[in-house]
Amino acid sequence: MNPNLFHRLRLLLVSVFAIVVASTVALAQSGGKVTIGGKITAEEDGQPLIGATVTEKGTTNGTTSDTEGAFKLSVSPNATVVVSFIGYTPQEIPVKNRSSINITLKTDQQQLQDVVVVGYGTQRKKDLTGSIVNLSSKDLVPVPSATSVDQMMQGKVAGVQITQTSGAPGGNVNVVIRGISSITGGNSPLYVVDGYAIGTGGGGSDLSSFSSSSYSASNIASSSGTNRINPLSTINPSDIESIQVLKDASATAIYGSRGANGVVIITTKRGKQGKTTINFEHSTGIQQLAKKLDLLTPREYAQYVAEGRDNAWVFAGGKATDPNNLRSTATQVKPGFRTPDQFANSGYGTDWQDLIFQQGLVQNYQLAASGTSKDVSYYVSGGYFDQKGIIIGSDFKKFTLRTNIDAQLTPRLKLGASFSGAHSYGDFARAEGHLQHRGLISAALASDPTIPVYDANGNYYSEFSDPTGIPVEHPLIIAAEFTDKRNNTNVFTNNYLQYEIANGLIFKTSIGVNYSNNITRLWKSSKVGLATSRTGAATAGVTEGKSLNWLNENTLNYRHRFGEKHDLDALVGYTVQKNTDEILQAGASDFPTDDVPYLAAGAVTSGTNYKSEWSMMSWLARVNYTLAGKYMFTATIRQDGSSRFGRENRWGTFPSFSAAYRLSDESFMKPVSFISDLKIRASYGISGNNLIPNYASQGLLGISRNVSNGQVISGVVPSSLANTVLTWEQSVQTNIGLDLSLFQNRLSFIVDAYRTHKKDLLLNVILPAASGFSSSLQNIGEVENKGIELTINSENIRKGAFQWNTDFNISWNRNKVLALNSETARIQTSDYQVAQVGYPISSFRLLNILGVFQTQEEVNASPKQHPRVQPGDYRYQDADGNGTITQNDRTIVGNPWPDFTWGMGNRFTYKGLTLNISVNGSQGNEIYFQGGEVSLNGAGVQNQLGIMADRWKSPTDPGAGTMSRSIRNDYAFGFSAGTTKYLFDGSFVRIRNVNLAYALPQTVVSKLKLQALSVYVDATNLYTFTKYPGYDPEGSTTGDNIARSGIDFFAYPNPRTYTIGLRVTF
């Protein structure tokens, strides 16, 4: 939209808004005949209700109560006044010529639950026209072991796929709303905490490159910038009052260029009417490995190694009976392995998994106070969380503090101040990655199960110098000689001033600041090398990252009821936000000793320092109109100006419109008494995605070094091509929904069908070499997501003291790339995945194994990858049809996105007992088990997963037909990366959480001078039903790089946790 046109429309909207407000205020101030007054208080504690609304029924005449709960209003002598306050049951009171009326309001728990926080305001749930899911306190049963808010939502929201990619203390959690929608941009939702947009989660936690040569002298500085602490862990889960998930454009367009991936609104607890309450909670638990991998036994391992090395020697022209002195080093076999039955009664020999996994203690302490004192309400909390990881050398500690204060300065002026701080630190194990790069899990699984942990002298046993052994570093050396220490400090404050200009007309301004400081320190001693080198130079790396974000928001909101049928809620606003990041990195090597692991002790060999900024300015407006309680309309528009985009497209406009119709209020529906509520919804809108590098639209300069006359000369050269028309990725969304409640709201259904068309995807286009640049970032791609969501809430039994409630949700989403820079274009998102027209983003493109050759006749009749392919080798699909198997025969064979996801919660209550059971699942997604390139390669070297025992051994012993023969040679792509040998079904059903709590009877609690006392036991990640052979089907070493989802190179497993706890209210 033309900015000048938008400016004129904005002026027109503001003018109309002002005229409506002025006329309404003038009408509301028209005179009456009787002046009434009184005081409004809460029934439960007698405290005054500040800001309660008093209106003359059938008119626009009204007022609000002051800081003492008092009010005055001129009305007709025979009028009826309506008194209302959020969270309390409204009352209608006839005046009857009285001049003094005192009113007591009762708490309305249903109304409290039905108020939903939306962007820049609140709405009644029944009046929503968009797709919004509200998780109230009853839905957010605290999980004692949860370190971040995203873990609390898992399995509870239809259309939201939540994956805990790492079980490490403080580890990453991915949240994807209605499918992946960007190839190179971000895919995480926007998080808004108490009205402050804090950004997305993840924070750069892709460990796929970190787990390779990240400790080398040249890479250690940049590797220290990889994030292992979930940024959302700075929010204490115990401080959360509610969570709203905004899914369609009607709900997200108010956030404009940041709403395309959905919005998660988090509201923290604030002081409530009543006397001070103090809550204390403590829990202690034990974490353990939920699933050990089944490996070859010592006897099976000996057979497997001998067989693999014999086959390799025979392939080279030798005989299986040849002794080691005639063989090549790689084909020599330990003499003991020639008699594998000697290991048959040795059990499992050394269990290397037991060596690296441990039971970890997790403790949680929470203390909070809240209440209201005259004109001030407050909530203050502090927390301490201590988690010892299930892998040796890993732990995490976190301290949190929060203060929320609201003060009614005058009857019309309100002030609020929020402050929170969090400091976390921990040690992180080098769990992920290849054994050659000293991945701890990979090394433990690969180690020979027939050897001891220590030699006769008490030193670590090693086979590095044994040609018949495995060049695998001892797991305990890896754990001891690598260190990864991190700490994170976050300080957040958001403050507002709210003034009621006239009845229903409120101006609010807020200013907030969010500051974070993160430090990472990596160290590798000289006792550890890389690849087959036993030792190597000591290296160290440090990264310090600082981030300062500030936000100012200004809104004018008008709410009013005209007569008995017309409800208007109008909002206009202006916001400005700026973010500055500063990074300092350094790496060092050549340490004279391993005793001083600081940079100062070595020679600094690499490093960088830079500052990066972005800023945004926005105008926004929204109108909600309800007619007769059954016709609802919402229109939203936002215009964002961002520093990230080209100067010719710096501003973007994002409109939306939605409507809803409540059929259940029609007279023709009254005979259908079992229908409590029936509403249909429809919405259409546009939102954007601005998650790209800060300077992607600009032509940047880089440093170039050349040698001239024997000297190195540095200069500045262009490093990227400017694109002045670079603009937002736009998401055009359509949503149709149905809300149905039956049998006095005991059974309810929410159904949504949607289509999201993502346009102007930001992709790198290859440029001619003559341009001097390899590629240019341009808006050229299109992606589609479409799906159906179903939520069912049921009150199954309500009989006496016993209740049983069930919540169930299920979602189907289909993702497809519609356009790239050409119809045949293919963009590689990982070594194994591509984005290609007609297929989902990040589809797996691999050599497709059709089976194992059983006979020579099958070999002769099939395309071959090598002239000497024989029975026992893999048979591949000839995808290009040229009769020869090469890497060009890779074809799309699956994707990491599930056909559907679901979650179910059951809540049973009987008197003081409450039992909550949560189950969730995913069906139809594939996982590339990159760890299988070590533990399923069939090369006759490292120990393997137990399924390798059922490999092809001979025509008379063909095994299960899924694993080829063992051979230390890759001539037939037997252990090559990038084949479907390592692609597995990632479907699972997980018993996520079981919580049993008992609240002591009030008679007992009162004698203890307490308000409430309860105890509970809790089990998290109790059991997972899956065919996936890895540790966890949710595990992914690519972290928050969602476009590379579904790759697992031994991600840190999600632990099983057993907890006992106590909650006390004073």
Report pLDDT digits (tens) over 441-477: 999 999 999 999 999 999 999 888 788 888 899 999 9
Percent of the chain, pLDDT > 90? 64
3-class secondary structure, 804: strand
Which one-letter DSSP state was computed for residue 254? G
Q: How confident is the model at residue 13 (pLDDT cuts 50, 70, 90)?
A: very low
When mean pLDDT is compared across 111-120, 370-379, 500-509, the lowest value belongs to 111-120
- Please give the average per-residue pLDDT across 811-836, as a whole number: 91
Nearest alpha-carbon partner for 1056 in 340, 286, 465, 395 = 286
Global pTM reads 0.89
d(C-alpha 737, C-alpha 650), whole Å = 34
> Mean pLDDT over all residues of the chain?
89
Residue type, 654: F
Q: What H or E segment, with its residue span, contains residue 86?
A: none
Task: Note the pLDDT tens digit of each residue in 275-300.
Answer: 889 999 999 999 999 999 999 999 99
d(C-alpha 939, C-alpha 322), whole Å = 19
């109304």: which residue's tokens? Answer: 111
Residue 624 contacts residue 611 (beta carbons within 8 Å): no
Sequence-distant (6+) residues with CB within 8 A of 95 are 34, 36, 75, 76, 77, 78, 79, 80, 81, 101
pLDDT of residue 151: 86
d(C-alpha 180, C-alpha 168), whole Å = 25
When mean pLDDT is compared across 145-149, 213-217, 1055-1059, the lowest value belongs to 213-217
Which one-letter DSSP state was computed for residue 899? S
d(C-alpha 1027, C-alpha 985), whole Å = 7
pLDDT of residue 345: 60
pLDDT of residue 981: 96
At 302, phi and psi to the nearest 5? -60, -45
pLDDT of residue 849: 96
Percent of the chain, pLDDT > 70? 94
Residue 1018 contacts residue 285 (beta carbons within 8 Å): yes
- Please give the average per-residue pLDDT across 882-888, as a whole number: 93
d(C-alpha 563, C-alpha 164), whole Å = 51
Tokens of 738: 């149905």
Residue 460 contacts residue 395 (beta carbons within 8 Å): no
Task: Note the pLDDT tens digit of each residue in 740-766.
Answer: 999 999 999 999 999 999 998 888 777
Delineate the domains of the chain, giving CATH numbers in brackets. Answer: 31-107 (2.60.40.1120), 190-289+359-845+897-931+985-1065 (2.40.170.20)
When mean pLDDT is compared across 165-179, 201-215, 925-939, the lowest value belongs to 201-215
Task: Note the pLDDT tens digit of each residue in 231-255.
Answer: 888 899 899 999 999 999 889 999 9
